[in-house]
A and B are shown apart, each in its own frame.
Chain A
Amino acid sequence: MTAVWVLIVVLALATAALKLAGPLTLGGRPLPASVLTIVELLASALLAALVVVETFGKGRSLVLDARVLGAAFAAVAVWRRAPMIVVVLGAAAVTAVARLLY
């Protein structure tokens, strides 16, 4: 059980350190224009990677399972401008039904 608490404390401190490193070392200084352009594009690149990992990733392997159907529903729902809650709960429902059927 102690191990669990060590995990919690270390993860909390490490997460805080990662979030704080930039703001505490850079201060309020502006970034050079070339870096700003990268920053502008960073969210798109990281979010797309998160989509891939959360849809196909299983540890260190890529798998095709019922999550793909849920993600496909989410993509269509987002494109049709459905509210966020419909997007996520609909994705869960589609995935659950797919698992029930197979």
Chain B
Amino acid sequence: MTERTPARERRAAGIRRGLPFGIAVFAIAVSFGVLARPLMGLVAPIVMSVVVFSGSAQFGALAVLLAGGSTAAAIAAGVLLNARYLAMGLALAPSLRGNALSRGAFAMPLVDASWASASRGDGTFDPWYMVGVSIPQYVGWVLGTVVGVLVGSRLGDPKALGLDALFPAFFIALLFEEARGRRRIVAAAGGAGIALVLTPLVPAGLPILAAGAAAVAASRMRRL
């Protein structure tokens, strides 16, 4: 996709790219709905998926509540888990045109898979393509949550169904497409190493943000 391709075509291409993500996200959202229902009731999990639209933050906050943690602790976990959006937003910013309102409108659908897919590989992003990739994911996320709270415990234990393995599988698929070339593989290996070392040491979410340091380090290496 070049900048000359019309917006509508770029968005449509993004939607096609996002369809398999949407199905995966649907399955993840079902497990969120199942897990959230006993604690949050019928309506709150659905509203949460509509307005927060973030798997990691929603699961993270829910995990804190399920473990008996306070609301403040749940909020802190969710915010930390989403802190990477600050870095992703900063990366996306120069690719957005127009006034603040339109730039904001393009930034809101930002999620991991869309951001990674819309990367042109030279540090710039295709905003219309990114919006397209997000559309099936948003639909899948909200619909999946609805199905999850409605079906609830009749589906059985999400862990027994292996639904917690959907997340790593999803990110492995994204990583494989992204990490091409020696410098990126070094950045990925460094990010994985940082996450491994920091996970037992600092609150959840921080290790993912700290992994950004691997990108800085890899960008400074001369011989790669």
Q: CA separation between A93 and B161, bound complex, in Å?
A: 7
Query: A64 near B: Cβ within 8 Å?
Result: no
Q: How far is the CA of A39 from the CA of B115 in the complex (A)?
A: 12
Smallest beta-carbon distance B82→chain A, Å:
5
Range for the number of chain B residues in contact with chain A:
35 or more
A14 and B94 contact, CB distance less than 8 A: no
B32 at interface, CB cutoff 8 A: no
A11-B75, A99-B162 known; A59+B63 contact, CB < 8 A: yes
Contact of A84 with B161 at beta-carbon distance under 8 Å, contacts A12-B52, A49-B195, A54-B168 already known = no
Minimum Cβ distance to chain A for residue B140 (Å): 12
- The minimal Cβ–Cβ distance linking B106 to chain A, given in whole angstroms, is 7
> A16 to nearest B CB, angstroms?
7
Task: Decide yes or no whether B96 CB sits under 8 A from chain A.
Answer: yes
A contact set with B: CB distance below 8 Å: 1, 3-12, 14-16, 18-31, 34, 36-57, 59-62, 66-67, 70-71, 73-75, 78-79, 83-85, 87-100
Q: Complex: how many Å from CA A45 to CA B84?
A: 11
The 22 listed contacts between A and B (C-beta, < 8 Å) are A18-B79, A19-B110, A22-B90, A23-B106, A40-B119, A40-B219, A42-B187, A42-B212, A43-B115, A49-B195, A55-B168, A57-B204, A60-B203, A70-B168, A70-B169, A71-B169, A73-B169, A78-B172, A88-B166, A88-B173, A92-B161, A93-B162
Given contacts A8-B48, A41-B184, contact A91 B169 (CB under 8 A): yes
Chain A: CB-nearest residue to B107: A23
Give the distance in Å from the alpha carbon of A38 to the alpha carbon of B186 in the complex: 12
Assess the B162–A47 pair: CB atoms within 8 A: no
Give the residues in chain A near B170, CB-CB below 8 Å: 88
Asked if B159 CB lies within 8 Å of chain A CBs, one says: yes
Whether the pair B168, A59 counts as a contact (CB closer than 8 A) is no
B171 partner, pick from A16, A31, A54, beta carbons under 8 A: A54
Q: Shortest Cβ distance from A64 into chain B, in angstroms?
A: 12
Q: How far is the CA of A43 from the CA of B210 in the complex (A)?
A: 13
Per-position 1/0 for B112-132, Cβ under 8 A of A: 100110010111000000000
Residues in B79-108 with C-beta less than 8 Å from chain A? 79, 82-94, 96-98, 100, 103-104, 106-108
Complex contact A74–B169 (CB within 8 A): yes
State in angstroms the CA–CA spacing of A30 and B23 once bound together: 35
When A11-B61, A14-B82, A70-B165 are in contact, do A50 and B208 touch as well, CB less than 8 Å?
yes
**CA A84 to CA B208, docked complex, whole Å:** 23
Give A71 Cβ to nearest chain B Cβ, in Å: 4
B27, B116, B169, B178: most-surrounded residue (chain A CB, <10 A): B169
Chain B residues lying within 8 Å of A100, measured Cβ to Cβ, are 160
Q: Which of B121, B178, B195 contacts A53 (CB 8 A)?
A: B195
| Complex contact B75–A47 (CB within 8 A) | no
Q: Given contacts A38-B215, A49-B208, A88-B170, are A22 and B195 in contact (CB under 8 A)? A: no
The 9 closest A-B pairs by CB, nearest first: A70-B165, A95-B162, A45-B191, A49-B211, A96-B162, A22-B89, A84-B20, A91-B169, A36-B123
